Amino acid sequence: MAVSAVPASISEEYYQISQAILESFPKYRLPLDLFIFKENIAQLVLYSKKDSRLTNEQVEEIRLLCAEGDLFVSRADHPIYSQHIVKQLDLVLVDKNLKEAEVADISLRALELRLNDFFDQPVRPVFELLHADVLVVTEYLWTDMHRLRLFVRRLHTGEYSLARHSLNCLSLGLWLLVSPKDEEMRRKSFDQAALALLLHDAGMAKVPPFITGKTAPLKPEEKEKIPQHTLAGYKIMHKLDQTDESMRQALLEHHERLDGSGYPQGVKSVSPFGRLVAVVDAFSAMIQKRAYAEAKDFTTAARELAEAKSRFDFAFSGKILAALASDSFGKSS
Ligand SMILES: [Fe+2]
Ligand SMILES: [Fe+2]
């Protein structure tokens, strides 16, 4: 099939729409403007306005134009486009026309929606939808680990939410895990690590929001509820048959500290993965605004963790600090 040569200036402002994505939209009424490439004038012209009713002939013509690579949507319609694709994340992988930064935005948004659903209802059918999207994202990252940097640049720093905190831990945790790329790492362990990072706080779904969102000091009986989220999370994931080592370590060890001052067990010996989750968990908690604490900037947070060597593994906190010093990631880049 002959695919038209589209000038680079056009692909800056328009997406070439793939067949899989076209098919995922309502057939007769598309929620965005369509443009077609006219090779003789080397320009895009408007084909149909958003929400206009298409005839059968137009539907067929659009299908052919798409197959030829001549069908486009405007990047100005990115919000509509990404809102659509966020529910069908697997389409992102087959779409060569999205920029990597756009894929990162869409992936994080998609996972946030799935996580919120799962934290509301930590049951198997909801977990399976989340799991499927996690595998789409790990497949995408595994293909080119440099893409992780775009995820790390998107750490959430605003108001705390459990889903956004979990996403921060996913991005930063995977980045620590594969930086420099661990050639020995197997694909399966990468997927499992991703899931474990994302769900290390699954048990928080069981802690009432009036406790997690409280600005006043917690009463003793309320305080008691927080450490229980480690075991509660373990039980939730166990019910869902998610019992591999990395999941267990993430759930049960992310609040353990190297000097034994952590919980739930107060042990000093913590697995390497448990130490990693502890560092990213604490870092993410510090850079988000909490009911009881203001958000800290990245460097302050990383420095505090690096200084607390007796409790947090410096192998990880030091790496974050060094990356910030060389501006390898962060808000400024
Ligand atoms: Fe936690
Ligand atoms: Fe956490």
Residue 181 has a pLDDT of: 53
Domain boundary among 70, 85, 100: 85
pLDDT band with cut points at 50, 70 and 90 for residue 39: confident
Place of tokens 């893409």: 147
Question: Is residue 117 over pLDDT 60?
Answer: yes
pLDDT band with cut points at 50, 70 and 90 for residue 3: low
β-pair partners for 73: 15
Say which CATH number the domain at 304 has. Answer: 1.10.3210.10
Count of all residues that appear for the chain in the document: 333
Indicate if 274 and 162 belong to the same structural domain: yes
Indicate if 12 and 140 belong to the same structural domain: no
**Domain-located, residue 220:** yes
pLDDT band with cut points at 50, 70 and 90 for residue 331: very low
**Domain-located, residue 71:** yes
- Of the CA atoms within 13 Å of residue 260, those in its CB half-sphere come to 2
d(CA 250, CA 73): 42
Indicate if 169 and 236 belong to the same structural domain: yes
Indicate if 141 and 35 belong to the same structural domain: no
93: left (phi over 0), alpha (psi -120 to 50) or beta: alpha
pLDDT band with cut points at 50, 70 and 90 for residue 332: very low
Task: Identify the CA nearest to 69 among candidates 45, 91, 36, 25.
Answer: 36
pLDDT tens profile 247-297: 999 999 999 999 999 999 999 999 999 999 999 999 999 999 887 788 999
Domain boundary among 67, 85, 103: 85
Indicate if 197 and 318 belong to the same structural domain: yes
The total domain count for the chain is 2
**Sign (positive or negative) of CA dihedral 103, 13, 82, 283:** positive
pLDDT band with cut points at 50, 70 and 90 for residue 212: confident
Min mean pLDDT across 24-28, 201-205, 257-261, 295-299 is at: 24-28
DSSP category for residue 295: P
d(CA 47, CA 227): 58
Domain that residue 65 falls in: 8-85
d(CA 102, CA 169): 20
Q: Residue 114 C-alpha to ligand 1 middle, in angstroms?
A: 19
Place of tokens 């302050």: 300
**Domain-located, residue 99:** no
Q: Residue 107 C-alpha to ligand 2 middle, in angstroms?
A: 20
Indicate if 181 and 37 belong to the same structural domain: no
Q: Residue 332 C-alpha to ligand 2 middle, in angstroms?
A: 25
Q: Residue 97 C-alpha to ligand 1 middle, in angstroms?
A: 38
**Domain-located, residue 290:** yes
Q: Residue 187 C-alpha to ligand 1 middle, in angstroms?
A: 26
Mean pLDDT estimate for the chain: 89
β-pair partners for 45: 36
**Domain-located, residue 132:** yes
Closest-lying ligand to the alpha carbon of 285? Answer: 2
Q: Residue 201 C-alpha to ligand 1 middle, in angstroms?
A: 5
pLDDT band with cut points at 50, 70 and 90 for residue 245: very high
Percentage of the chain with pLDDT > 70?
94
Q: In what order do the strands lie in the sheet with 43-48?
A: 14-16, 71-74, 34-38, 43-48
Closest-lying ligand to the alpha carbon of 226? Answer: 1
Indicate if 155 and 245 belong to the same structural domain: yes
Indicate if 68 and 136 belong to the same structural domain: no
**Domain-located, residue 92:** no
d(CA 213, CA 291): 6
Indicate if 191 and 268 belong to the same structural domain: yes
Alpha helix (H) ranges present in the chain?
Answer: 8-13, 19-24, 56-67, 78-85, 90-94, 100-120, 124-143, 148-152, 162-177, 187-198, 209-212, 220-223, 228-239, 245-253, 272-287, 298-307, 314-325
The better pLDDT of the pair 32, 83 is held by: 32
**Domain-located, residue 56:** yes
Question: Is residue 333 over pLDDT 80?
Answer: no
Indicate if 127 and 65 belong to the same structural domain: no
Mean pLDDT of 64-90: 88
* Amino acid at position 312, single letter: F
Indicate if 307 and 247 belong to the same structural domain: yes
**Domain-located, residue 2:** no
Question: Is residue 330 over pLDDT 60?
Answer: no
Q: Residue 289 C-alpha to ligand 2 middle, in angstroms?
A: 14
Do the beta carbons of residue 182 and residue 131 sit within 8 Å?
Answer: no
Domain boundary among 85, 103, 120: 85
* Amino acid at position 113, single letter: L
Indicate if 213 and 304 belong to the same structural domain: yes
Highest mean predicted confidence (pLDDT) among 106-115, 213-222, 321-330: 106-115
